[in-house]
């Protein structure tokens, strides 16, 4: 029986829920660990001193047992609230480098943004439920992070 297990005659099924949220933010790709010349070589036009912006699309996926009583893995209202607190309030319409302390000494790449979101989402939901953070920086650039 794939994706299910028996527990005292009750079938335990595991499922995944993904909620999608969009937000806008600007940043400058720049590493304090590189010289200005090396930053231009590594990040190119994305190292523009005035920054640039994105309309990010984030997919937050949780994994868990489907409750036999409620039929849910997690109440979507709770997931929506967590996303509001972890993503929307601190990141939407912000300058990642100037408004989000996490990026003071860390380059605000989409990879690091995924780690930031993971680290904060994992604190906001039940243990071992967060499965994946997927960020669409553009239609062609997508980052996936699973806490590894």
Q: Provide the CATH number for the domain around residue 50.
A: 3.30.479.10
CB 142 within 8 A of CB 134: yes
Q: What is the pLDDT of residue 6?
A: 59
Q: Decide if 76 is inside a domain.
A: yes
DSSP 8-state symbol, 106: S
Considering the candidates 12, 59, 132, 137, report the single residue annotated as catalytic. Answer: 137
Expressed as residue numbers, the domain containing 110 is 15-145
Q: What is the pLDDT of residue 12?
A: 83
Q: Is the pTM of this model over 0.85?
A: yes
Residue 111 falls in the annotated catalytic set? no
Write the CB contacts of 122 (distance below 8 Å, at least 6 apart in sequence): 130, 147
Residue numbers in the chain where pLDDT is lower than 50: 1
Considering the candidates 46, 59, 111, 132, report the single residue annotated as catalytic. Answer: 46
**Which structure tokens are listed for 95?**
């300058």
Q: Decide if 9 is inside a domain.
A: no
**Count of domains observed in the chain:** 1
Q: Decide if 4 is inside a domain.
A: no
Q: What is the pLDDT of residue 13?
A: 93
Q: Decide if 6 is inside a domain.
A: no
Considering the candidates 33, 52, 84, 93, report the single residue annotated as catalytic. Answer: 93
Q: What are phi and psi of 144, to 5 degrees?
A: -120, 135
Q: Decide if 26 is inside a domain.
A: yes
Q: What is the pLDDT of residue 1?
A: 44
Q: What is the 3-state secondary structure (H, E, C) of 54-95?
A: EEEEEEEEEEEEECCCCCCCCCHHHHHHHHHHHHHHHHCCEE
Give percent of the chain above pLDDT 90.
Answer: 92
The CA distance from 79 to 18, in Å, is 9
Residue 93 falls in the annotated catalytic set? yes
Q: What is the pLDDT of residue 8?
A: 64
């Amino acid at each position: 029986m794939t994706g299910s297990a028996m527990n005292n005659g009750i079938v335990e099924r595991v499922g995944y829920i993904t909620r999608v949220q969009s937000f806008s933010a600007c940043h400058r790709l720049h590493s304090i660990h590189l010289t200005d010349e090396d930053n231009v070589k590594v990040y190119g036009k994305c190292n523009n001193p005035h920054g640039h912006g994105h309309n990010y699309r984030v997919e937050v996926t949780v994994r868990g047992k489907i409750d036999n009583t409620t039929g849910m893995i997690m109440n979507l209202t709770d997931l929506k609230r967590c996303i509001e607190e972890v993503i929307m309030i601190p990141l939407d319409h912000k300058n990642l480098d100037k408004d989000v302390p996490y990026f003071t000494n860390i380059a605000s790449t989409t990879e690091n943004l995924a780690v930031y979101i993971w680290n904060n989402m994992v604190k906001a939901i039940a243990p071992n439920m967060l499965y994946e953070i997927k960020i669409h920086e553009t239609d062609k650039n997508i980052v996936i992070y699973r806490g590894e």
